[in-house]
Structure 1
Amino acid sequence: MKTKKMGEVSFSVQEDHDFSWLEEMGHVFCVFDEQDSGNISFGVEREDGKFFVKYAGAKPMDFSGEPKEAVERLRTAMSVYQQLKHPSVIRLKHHFALKEGYAAVFNWAEGECLHSHWSHGGPAKYTDPTSPYYRFRKLSVPSRLQALDTIFSFHAFVEEQGFVAIDFYDGSILYDFNNDVTTLCDIDFYRKSPTVNDIGEEFWGADRSKSKEEYELGAVIDERTNEYTMGAIAFGLLGGETDHSFSKWEAGEGLFEVAGKAVGEDRGTRYSSVRAFKEAWEEARRRC
């Protein structure tokens, strides 16, 4: 294990690695190093602003794969951010290869991650009053519905561009509590449709947001998968997360019925697309 110190932060990697290029970019004021994707991310500030820098090539402590695989995933993701450029998604500024890895630089987005496992892991996410998720769940229902509008609108756009969302969960949501603004991040694994589950049970994603087909090797991942994810996110932000009972739901019977249909185990009973789900959701809101 090697411990690195840069600017205001220190972090550990499994093997020594050259990060001198990062110090040349500006003042490092935060680090996100507890990721199993193989990426390490940093907040960097310089005269022209604050930036979020995602890097692959090192071996983070929680990473069990090969750095070259993480590098290729990050490199491939750059075209995803370019094709899915959207006001609600962190903005890719530029990206470049380094001797031992690959870096992507994004404009900094104010907000707190709703799945901050590095600071509020386990039960603390749900019970600690300082947890971003806990605080978000204490917001009014209209404020949370507004955040969901942002999420659903972006994923309708994703669908229109011929993509499917892979690995979208509450860890992909940043919420700015000061300005009530929702920003989405970490869309690295989104793919062009059609695609299939090429991994099996360990397919990318959080168990609380994954559909049945996201555990089945060779299963089709498509619009019905994505609308399941939207329903699961709705239950995570308005209901009992994996408990889909009405007793845990906070937003009325009409929206509950829409979210419940979205997370049907049988693909054939779900909405046919994110667009269809979004239209049903909006109609239910109008009836409230």
Structure 2
Amino acid sequence: MSALLTPKVIDQEPSDYVRRHCTVVAEFGAATQDSGNVSWLVDTPQGRYFVKTAGPTGEQAPGSPTPYLDHGDRVGLLRNAVDLASSCPHVALPRLLNVIESPSGPGLVYDAAPGELVHVPPDRRADPNSAYQRFAHLPADDLLCLFDVLVDLHRALAAAGWVACDLYDGCLIVDFEGPSLRVIDLDTYRRGPSVNDMGHMFGSSRFMAPEELEMGAVIDQRTTTFTLGRLIWHFGTRLTEQAPRFCGPPALARAVQRACRPRPADRHASVAAFADAWEAGRSLP
């Protein structure tokens, strides 16, 4: 059994434990993100895993970006991620295999998701070799099948009470050999309807609903439908945002366009309603 899958509590920092028992393939910390979290992709004799932590409890190293959440809040989001994983097993979510408690909080051990992260820095979005461009230009049937998975996952999450937050192309990992889709980093999803208590919530402005930018606005399943619609429209139109370029039939395009309407009342009333409209559109020529 892997050393990552057996302990429930360790008396050392996760970084020391990971480096002692695994081969680090990649580290994701201050050099690549500003969240304050520190994560590792690791190899073990039993397979490849992804380990996510809240990072160190002390001050960031000199020159590192200031995290947008303090350590306690980051720990809270990791525990939220554990709740989400346990409430909604789905093929598109990498399996949460273990939670290891440490002096600096939990370490979440996931199956490593095969494939490439769709998100790339803005200056690479035009690169035809980027995962961003390759995803957007998959054959229509392949792209629609991946959207099927994304919609089905969020139908299941909504049924378990979750509302999307910070869903963007940085959550999508695509294995182009399949192709197949995994969805990651859903730590900030919220249980049930809530109120925007941040003003500008977590997320990419390219995909966020208007209410995610308005203090006091209601955040509910209609917010999830907007973000799903924007992701599907952006990539489904081959990055053009133009209806004639959409990869599916007109009825499907109309279902997605409705999801993206600015006023929540004009959208599908729930994720299930959007999923039903999506499935109906998918069945048409």
Q: Specify the TM-score bucket, using the shorter chain as the normaliser.
A: 0.7 to 0.9
- Spell out, residue by residue over 1:212-242, the C-alpha distance to the aligned partner (whole angstroms, 9 max, x if none): 111111211111111111111111221265x
Question: Considering only aligned residues, what root-mean-square deviation do their CA atoms show, in Å?
Answer: 1.9
Give yes or no for contact 1:25–1:44 (8 Å, CA) kept in 2. no
Unaligned runs of 5+ in 1: 1-16
TM-score normalised by the chain length of structure 1: 0.86
Residue pairs, 1:84-99, within 5 angstroms = 84-99=88-103
* Equivalent residue number for residue 212 of structure 1: 210
Cα separation, 2, equivalents of 1:71 and 1:217: 24
* Equivalent residue number for residue 5 of structure 1: none
Secondary structure of 1:271's partner?
Answer: coil
Per the TM alignment, residue 247 of structure 1 is displaced from its structure 2 partner at its CA by 4.4
Residue pairs, 1:139-288, within 5 angstroms = 139-201=138-200, 203-239=201-237, 244-288=241-285
Read off the aligned partner of 1:95 and give its amino acid letter.
Answer: V
- Spell out, residue by residue over 1:29-61, the C-alpha distance to the aligned partner (whole angstroms, 9 max, x if none): 112231222212211111111100111123483
User: Are residues 141 and 152 of structure 1, via their aligned partners in 2, closer, same or farther at CA, if it must alter by over 3 Å?
Assistant: same
1:109 aligns with 2:113: yes
* Equivalent residue number for residue 73 of structure 2: 69
Q: Pick one of 4, 17, 23 that aligns with 1:21.
A: 17
Cα separation, 2, equivalents of 1:39 and 1:104: 11
TM-score normalised by the chain length of structure 2: 0.87
Q: Compare relative contact order (CA 8 Å, sep 6+) and give the higher one, 1 or 2.
A: 2
Unaligned runs of 5+ in 2: 1-12
Residue pairs, 1:22-41, within 5 angstroms = 22-33=18-29, 34-41=32-39
Q: Which moved more, 1:67-76 or 1:98-107?
A: 67-76
Per the TM alignment, residue 273 of structure 1 is displaced from its structure 2 partner at its CA by 1.0
Give yes or no for contact 2:101–2:107 (8 Å, CA) kept in 1. yes
Secondary structure of 1:35's partner?
Answer: coil
Give yes or no for contact 2:14–2:107 (8 Å, CA) kept in 1. no
User: Are residues 145 and 283 of structure 1, via their aligned partners in 2, closer, same or farther at CA, if it must alter by over 3 Å?
Assistant: same
Secondary structure of 2:206's partner?
Answer: helix
User: Are residues 172 and 247 of structure 1, via their aligned partners in 2, closer, same or farther at CA, if it must alter by over 3 Å?
Assistant: same
- Spell out, residue by residue over 1:253-279, the C-alpha distance to the aligned partner (whole angstroms, 9 max, x if none): 222211111100111111111111121
Cα separation, 1, equivalents of 2:109 and 2:282: 38
